[in-house]
Amino acid sequence: MNPRPSYEWLVRYYSERGHGHNGARASVPSAAEAHQRVLEREQRSPNSTVDAARMIATIRTLSGNGHHGAGPRLLDVGCGYGFFSREALRSGFDVTSLEVASLERQVAARIIGKEPIASSFEDYRTIAGSFDVVLMSHVLEHAWDVNQWIEEARHSLTDGGILAIAVPNFGSVFRIVLGQRDPYVAPPSHLNFFTLGSLRALLEKHGFRVRQAQWVTRIPPSAVTKRLPSVRRAQFLLGLILRCGGWVADRARLGMMVSVYGERT
């Protein structure tokens, strides 16, 4: 995105507005209300739970057993509501979570069992090689300087450590068809747009080797019925068509989301 907002503006924007509400102070729910809404939404569409299980299982396969026999140390950058941190804890990782948005932090504290550190990745200081895994799930598209983030991830990781990134796929068939009407083309929230090729180039530039990539597409039928109310009666058939279409797009590497796992070389 050009022109880009300043780093200070972005930190203030996310600290006050977060990711899950419109940011008007009078309409911001309490932590208890937000927690209940998040759980209800996740129960209806368990996207975060499913994605967390998939990514943490892949990371576990790639990352080994950590140092000195302890559980692998994982840094969850921009943990949001905490579903990925929770899954990592359940899988035996020693988890450190960062989240700059105050409401998300309060909800994550309830979901994870401890409050994340109130810090952006830019302001968080780590000892070199202090983590076995750095996870960035749907946060790199928000970063002010992606090169700084990847270099900081390299500094934070041990040799052979895993950097796991999930972002909207700018090369998806849906973005190609919709152009700038794609819902993930959303400045100033989304500043950066990635394909597998650009992610690979970014990681290799900073000393990572891409070990694996995954594509995921999920289109809820409600996204279609809102625009085409006449198809509501055929919702089951619509859902089947959307799932089949998503499966084909993912196999063709044209899915909506792309996850990349890089190894620090």
Q: How confident is the model at residue 15 (pLDDT cuts 50, 70, 90)?
A: confident
The mean per-residue pLDDT over the stretch 196-208 comes to 98
pLDDT of residue 61: 93
Structural domain includes residue 119: yes
Burial (0-12, 13-18, 19+ Cβ within 10 Å), 181: exposed
The span from the CA of 13 to the CA of 15, in Å, is 6
What is the spatial order of strands in the sheet that 131-137 belongs to? 94-98, 73-77, 131-137, 157-168, 257-264, 208-216
CATH number at residue 146: 3.40.50.150
Which range of residues forms the domain containing residue 70? 7-217+255-264
Looking up tokens 């998040």, which residue turns up?
A: 38
Instruction: Give pLDDT tens digits for 241-254.
Output: 778 888 899 999 99
Percent of the chain whose pLDDT exceeds 90 = 71
Burial (0-12, 13-18, 19+ Cβ within 10 Å), 159: exposed
Q: Check: CB of residue 143 under 8 Å from CB of residue 121.
A: yes
pLDDT of residue 173: 93
Structural domain includes residue 242: no
pLDDT of residue 259: 98
Q: How confident is the model at residue 22 (pLDDT cuts 50, 70, 90)?
A: very low
Instruction: Give pLDDT tens digits for 137-180.
Output: 999 999 999 999 999 999 999 999 999 999 999 999 989 998 98
pTM of the model: 0.90
Structural domain includes residue 19: yes
The span from the CA of 144 to the CA of 111, in Å, is 28
Q: How confident is the model at residue 240 (pLDDT cuts 50, 70, 90)?
A: confident
Q: For residue 259, which of 207, 204, 194 has the smallest C-alpha distance? A: 194
pLDDT of residue 255: 95
Structural domains in the chain (count) = 1
Instruction: Give pLDDT tens digits for 76-90.
Output: 999 999 999 999 999
Structural domain includes residue 137: yes
Structural domain includes residue 62: yes
Structural domain includes residue 56: yes
pLDDT of residue 243: 82
CA 43, distance to chain mean position in Å, is 19
* Residue predicted with more confidence, 59 or 239: 59
pLDDT of residue 221: 62
Structural domain includes residue 229: no
Q: For residue 142, which of 196, 101, 81 has the smallest C-alpha distance? A: 101
